Amino acid sequence: MKKLIVLSGAIALFFSACTSTGSSSMKTEEDTLAYCLGTDMGTYIYNVDSMLGEKLNADLLITGIKNAIKKDTSIMTTKDAYDFMRRYYSVIKPRKDSIASAEFLAKVEKENKNVQKTESGLLYEVIEIGDSNVKADSTSKVRVLYRMADRNGNDIQNTYDSNDTLDIPIKNVIKGFAEGMTLVGKGGKIKLWIPSELGYGSRQQGPIPANSALYYEVDVIDVVPAEEPAKK
């Protein structure tokens, strides 16, 4: 349901930007509107494809749209469609993501001889150890450049592109990232493969699906010690 609401909002925003393209097949403003709706839906579906990590059946997608417009319930009623989507995003997809994430991590561990594993299950590869005398702990902040990606290699966040460093309190981050920051010092660089139980677990977090493993590449520019309490 949440995704349908987002789609409705996106369509409303798109109307203001969509004007006649001059195509001979669009003879009226309503024709242009129909094309704009199709374009916006196509963009939305493309983004869903990226999030799912798999391609939707375009023929069935078009059939669903046509049947909804005609109120044809011969294949599935509207209620059944909504019920399935709820079940898909709350049960089926998280289960698939959990299995796919486990397979992804197992492949990384098997194929990369430089990868090590901590007792918690965090996979990591130290590229540069940095200054072993200046390391983060649970009270520190780390100043970093980093890239976060999903198991398919799609960027979720990437500060390397803008070269903007971030100061991140260790106490505020997911367990896997926090643990990884203690493995290198100032000036260090590390790659992390974080299982979902050390990440966001069974809850979806923005573009990160539930039960998802994550990949990080992190340059630790500096380690900022915790501020001492002001003396009274």
Residue 121 Rama label (left phi>0; alpha psi -120 to 50; beta)? left
Give the pLDDT confidence score for residue 229 in this predicted structure: 45
Give the pLDDT confidence score for residue 215 in this predicted structure: 97
182 exposure class (CB count in 10 Å sphere: 0-12, 13-18, 19+): middle
Residue 64's CB is within 10 A of a number of other CB atoms, namely 15
To the nearest whole number, what is the mean pLDDT of the chain? 85
CA distance 65 to 69: 6
Give the pLDDT confidence score for residue 203 in this predicted structure: 84
Report the Cα–Cα distance between both ends of the chain, in Å, rounded. Answer: 54
CA distance 137 to 178: 8
Give the pLDDT confidence score for residue 23 in this predicted structure: 56
CATH of domain 116-224: 3.10.50.40
pTM here is 0.73
Give the pLDDT confidence score for residue 100 in this predicted structure: 92
Name the H helices within the chain: 2-17, 29-52, 58-70, 78-87, 93-111, 175-181
Domain boundaries, the chain: 2-75, 116-224
What is the arithmetic mean of pLDDT over 192-199? 97
pLDDT per position as a tens digit, 115-162: 999 999 999 999 999 998 999 998 999 999 999 999 988 899 999 999
CA distances from 25 to 17, 40, 41, 61, 105 (A): 19, 18, 19, 23, 50
